[in-house]
Chain A
Amino acid sequence: RKEVEQDPGPFNVPEGATVAFNCTYSNSASQSFFWYRQDCRKEPKLLMSVYSSGNEDGRFTAQLNRASQYISLLIRDSKLSDSATYLCVVNDLTGRRALTFGSGTRLQVQP
């Protein structure tokens, strides 16, 4: 079973649309959760950390469901510049700092 699983997409949406990505993780001991975005052949850039209570940053909302081992990212009012691959990232164990990456979900926002 994959440690962090994401739908690879692509999700093709028009500008202004709302789009949601989901991610599941296999290790129930996972401690920290993040969404990164990655543009083609570039480095992962931290989009937001995901907290148990859920958190929002502008047009982006992240939710965590520990019982179901499920993380989500909602993007409202999509912009062309949101086109990228969104990586679900998990830090597995207390004391360890290695990040485990999902394979990513590709988003293409169209005019």
Chain B
Amino acid sequence: EPEVTQTPSHQVTQMGQEVILRCVPISNHLYFYWYRQILGQKVEFLVSFYNNEISEKSEIFDDQFSVERPDGSNFTLKIRSTKLEDSAMYFCASSEGQGGREQYFGPGTRLTVT
């Protein structure tokens, strides 16, 4: 069964550093997403991406964040200057085209900012 993959599984970084989280969505999916979950809290939407551009973003997704699809398979989330409060689990998800709204999540990257 096809699945979303993410690397790394755990990233530790110092405050102020840049991090790039990587995802490979399911191959025939057209919509890609990033969500985050702070420990003990609910899953929160960050951004969605379709046709090589951002289609929606939340208020969390400020100028520190950016997304990119650098090639035909990878989808990345960059945090330019990490803060302590960016520590969270970051999940990538993907969904099919217009009809399918079900989103399938990758295993996540645990980001720890020290």
Residues of chain A touching chain B, judged by Cβ–Cβ distance below 8 Å, are: 32, 34, 41-46, 49, 87, 91, 96-104
Contacts and interface: CB of A to CB of B under 8 A. Distances in A.
B45 A42 contact: no
Interface of B is mostly: strand
B60 to A, nearest CB: 11
A43 B34 CA distance: 12
A105 to B, nearest CB: 12
A97 B101 contact: yes
Contact count band on B: 20 to 34
Interface of B: 31, 33, 35, 41-45, 48, 55-56, 58, 89, 91, 95, 101-108, 110
B104 A46 contact: yes
Nearest to B50: A97
Of A43, A45, A103, the most chain B CB neighbours within 10 A belong to: A43
